[in-house]
A and B are shown apart, each in its own frame.
Chain A
Amino acid sequence: GEDVEQSLFLSVREGDSSVINCTYTDSSSTYLYWYKQEPGAGLQLLTYIFSNMDMKQDQRLTVLLNKKDKHLSLRIADTQTGDSAIYFCAERVLSGGYNKLIFGAGTRLAVHP
């Protein structure tokens, strides 16, 4: 079945690192994504990783993929107040002959001074 799970809340102090975790069930996923949703806005693609990679780094963001455990994480270094948002994990699966995105419920990241 298709299911993506992530914890609902994370609170961190400004300047610390944040780690948001996600697990997925479909082993045929080709790409996995992290989206960011700021208050009152739609989703914005933050970063993605191809399923044959185990790590991707992009400035303050590090994505780790453990394909064996079907576990994806997003690490934000030096977390700032502007990073406060909801972060969605998503996997791309092939369903009915076309690509489909399955989203997790979202993790609300709160950054406090």
Chain B
Amino acid sequence: EAQVTQNPRYLITVTGKKLTVTCSQNMNHEYMSWYRQDPGLGLRQIYYSMNVEVTDKGDVPEGYKVSRKEKRNFPLILESPSPNQTSLYFCASSWGGWSQETQYFGPGTRLLVL
């Protein structure tokens, strides 16, 4: 089954404790991205990756890091989480950056930073 998986689905942590949210897709997609969803703001792109070892900042990259060492995985790293990073996070993938409209979205990771 074609899918994007994220782990964990729910996470409660404390300020400053490093965490990683994993994202994996099984569709051999080149393009992957991370979004955060906040009430009244919709989805905002954090980082994206056009292919292995090619990543770039989205609209709200501050406080986040990513890596793309393998085509299928695109982890999101919060080196020192802060309460303003409490949000719902979505990973997404598509064949290429030109086809973002057909992105497949993961189920989301709800993060609470205390």
Which residues of A line the B interface, CB within 8 A? 4, 8, 31, 33, 40-45, 48, 88, 90, 92, 98-101, 103-106
- Chain A contact residues: helix, strand, loop or mixed: strand
Q: Is the CB of B100 within 8 A of A99?
A: yes
Contact A42 B101 (CB under 8 A): no
In the complex, which residue of chain B has the Cβ closest to the Cβ of A2? B59
Partner of A31, one of B4, B44, B101: B101
Complex contacts, B90 vs chain A, CB 8 Å = 42-43
Is A105's CB under 8 angstroms from B105's CB?
Answer: no
A75 to B108, CA, bound (A): 27
Number of residues of chain B lying within 8 A (CB) of chain A: 22
Measuring CB to CB, which residues of chain B are less than 8 angstroms from any residue of chain A?
4, 39-45, 50, 90, 92, 97-98, 100-108
Determine the main DSSP class of B at the interface with A: mixed
CB neighbours of B104 from chain A (8 A): 42
Residue of A nearest to B35 (CB): A103
Shortest C-beta distance, A46 to chain B (Å), equals 11
Partner of B97, one of A90, A99, A105: A99
Q: Decide if B98 touches A99 in the complex (CB within 8 Å).
A: yes
| A101 & B102 in contact (Cβ 8 Å cutoff) | no
Instruction: For B103, list chain A residues within 8 Å (CB).
Output: 43, 45, 101
Question: Are A44 and B105 closer than 8 Å at their CB atoms?
Answer: yes
- A41: chain B residues within 8 A (beta carbon): 105, 107-108
Chain B residue with Cβ nearest A32? B101
Are B107 and A105 in touch, CB under 8 angstroms? no
Given contacts A42-B4, A42-B107, contact A101 B42 (CB under 8 A): no
The reply to whether A42 and B105 form a contact with Cβ atoms under 8 Å apart is yes
Choice from B45, B50, B97, B105 contacting A43 with Cβ under 8 Å: B105
